Copies of this chain bind each other. A is one copy, B any other.
C-alpha cells in the first residue's frame, strides 16, 4: 500500500534539512548575538487558549482533537498564545526586559492546495516588559541583521514601518469616522501598490454585512499569516455601516496618503489637531532616530499602508517585504499593549515579530542567496591493504572522537574504488591507512580537491586537525 505525506506537509530529505538547519542557525545566531534567549512550548495546547481570544469559530482553522479524557486540544497555529501563557505563569519571577526567541513548528488547517502549507516553522522574537522605543528598534534591528547576514541588501528587502496610532490619526484628520476605522484598516491591510484592484473594490464598495460580532476567526492569523507562508484569510470586521469607505475619504485622497512620507502624514495630523498631534507620530520619530543609531536605517522606511491586521497590535507595526515583484510579506510584527490580558496575568507589554521559513527560503532562492551546502564528511578512511582494515576502523574511530566527521567504505575494495567512494560521499580528504600504521602511527592524508598528499603521524593530525587540513587544502607549501 502506498501512503503519501499528508497534503500541505513537507518531507525534509537531507538536502532540504540542511537548508532548514542553515536558516535556523542564522535565526539562532542573530537572536543570540542580540541577547535573546530561546524557549519552546508544547506542540498542542488546550483549544480554549485559542478560542478565548478569537471565538469558537477559530476551531475550524485549527487541527483540533480530544484525548480519551474528553479534553480538547489544538496543534499550535502560532506561538503568541503559548508565549502569553508561559509569561503569565511566571510574570513576577522573570527579570525584565524579557528577551525571548523561539523557532516553533506550527500547523494551520488550510485547504490543501499548491503553495499553501499546513505545517511550517516561524522565527519569533519578542521583548516584553519594556515600553521604550529602544525595544522596538532593537527588534527591528535584529530583523534587518538577519537580512544583512544572509546577503539580502536594502535594495532587495525593506522593513516598512508605521504606527497604528498615527494611521488612525491621519485617517481621522481627513474625515474617517472612528466607527469606520476597523473597516478602513482591514481594507488598507489588503493594499498592494502593484495590484490595487482588490483594495479599490473594498474601499469603494458598500460593505457586506458580516455575521461575526468581534473581529472573527482571522484575528488569530492576521498579521502573521503571510509571514507563515500561508495566505491570510480575508479580515472581517464587525463594523458594517451601509456606506462605502470612499464616501468618507475619496479613493484618490487615500491613495495619495498611502504614498506619503512621514513628515507629510505628521503634518496632516498636526494641522487637524494642533494641540495634541499624534502620540504615534512622536513615537515613530523616536523609533526612526534609534534605527539610525542601530545602523539599520537603510533597511527601514515609513509606509502608512502597513497596518498589520486588526486587533492585536497597538503601537508601531512593521513588515519586511521583498522589493522585487509585489512586495510580498516576509516577516511582520509590532508593539502590543497587554500580552497576558486574557489569561489573568499582570499587564505585560511587548514588541515582537514572526518570520516564516518557506517565504524566506523562496525569497533567498529567487535572489540566488541560498548557500550550496554539501552533505559530505571531512575525511574518508581507506585501507590500503585488507590486513590494515582493523587499523583503518581504529583510525576512523579516533578521527570521529576528535570531532572530525569521517566515513569509510562498508565493503572492502581496491584503493581506486575506495577513492571513488570517497568522492561520491563528498569527502574533502582521504585518509589512507596502510600496514606501516601499526608500527609507525603514520597515515597519508590526501586532499581530494588539490590532490595534495602528505604522510604524517595520526597524532599530529589529531593534535591540530583544522590547521593540518587547511594546509593540505591550500596546496603545496
Q: Across the two chains, which residue of chain B brings its CB closest to A148?
A: B401
Question: Given A293-B390, A397-B141, do A35 and B406 touch, yes or no (CB 8 Å)?
Answer: yes
Contact with B along A33-62 (1 / 0, CB 8 A): 111011111111110110010000000100
Q: Across the two chains, which residue of chain B brings its CB closest to A40?
A: B12
> Does A42 lie within 8 Å of B11, measured CB to CB?
yes
A39 surroundings in chain B (CB, below 8 A): 11-14, 17
A14 surroundings in chain B (CB, below 8 A): 37-39, 100
Q: Across the two chains, which residue of chain B brings its CB closest to A85?
A: B3
* A225 nearest CB across to chain B (Å): 18
Question: Given A63-B65, A132-B410, A397-B294, do A43 and B40 touch, yes or no (CB 8 Å)?
Answer: no
A34 surroundings in chain B (CB, below 8 A): 400, 405-407
Main secondary structure of the interface of A (DSSP, over half): mixed
Which of A39, A43, A85, A399 counts the most chain B CB atoms within 10 A?
A: A43
* A446 nearest CB across to chain B (Å): 18
Q: Within the assembled complex, what's the spacing in Å between the Cα atoms of A377 and B33? A: 8
> Does B43 lie within 8 Å of A97, measured CB to CB?
no
> Does B38 lie within 8 Å of A17, measured CB to CB?
yes
Q: Within the assembled complex, what's the spacing in Å between the Cα atoms of A35 and B65? A: 39
> Does B406 lie within 8 Å of A33, measured CB to CB?
yes
Q: Within the assembled complex, what's the spacing in Å between the Cα atoms of A390 and B39? A: 31
The stretch that binds B, out of A104-112, A352-360, A433-441, is A104-112
Q: Within the assembled complex, what's the spacing in Å between the Cα atoms of A21 and B377? A: 23
Query: Does A463 interact with chain B (Cβ within 8 Å)?
Result: no
Query: Does A86 interact with chain B (Cβ within 8 Å)?
Result: yes
Q: Across the two chains, which residue of chain B brings its CB closest to A20?
A: B40
A403 surroundings in chain B (CB, below 8 A): 29, 33
> Does B63 lie within 8 Å of A64, measured CB to CB?
no
Q: Within the assembled complex, what's the spacing in Å between the Cα atoms of A394 and B293? A: 6
> Does B293 lie within 8 Å of A6, measured CB to CB?
no
Q: Within the assembled complex, what's the spacing in Å between the Cα atoms of A81 and B112? A: 23
Q: Within the assembled complex, what's the spacing in Å between the Cα atoms of A5 and B425? A: 45
> Does B375 lie within 8 Å of A37, measured CB to CB?
yes
Contact with B along A402-434 (1 / 0, CB 8 A): 011111001100000000000011000000000
Q: Across the two chains, which residue of chain B brings its CB closest to A21?
A: B38
Which of A356-415 touch B at CB < 8 Å?
A: 375, 377, 390, 393-394, 397-401, 403-407, 410-411
A303 surroundings in chain B (CB, below 8 A): none
Contact with B along A252-280 (1 / 0, CB 8 A): 00000000000000000000000000000
Q: Within the assembled complex, what's the spacing in Å between the Cα atoms of A132 and B410? A: 8
Interface residues on A, range: 35 or more
> Does B1 lie within 8 Å of A344, measured CB to CB?
yes
Q: Across the two chains, which residue of chain B brings its CB closest to A393?
A: B293
Query: Does A181 interact with chain B (Cβ within 8 Å)?
Result: no
> Does B32 lie within 8 Å of A44, measured CB to CB?
no
The stretch that binds B, out of A68-76, A187-195, A226-234, A326-334, is A68-76
Query: Does A18 interact with chain B (Cβ within 8 Å)?
Result: yes
Contact with B along A177-221 (1 / 0, CB 8 A): 000000000000000000000000000000000000000000000
Question: Given A5-B85, A14-B37, A40-B12, do A145 and B401 touch, yes or no (CB 8 Å)?
Answer: yes
List of 5 A-B pairs having minimum Cβ-Cβ separation, nearest first: A9-B42, A35-B407, A65-B65, A14-B37, A293-B393
In addition to A5-B42, A6-B71, A9-B44, 8 A-B residue pairs with Cβ atoms within 8 Å of each other are A5-B41, A6-B73, A11-B39, A11-B41, A12-B41, A17-B37, A69-B111, A134-B410
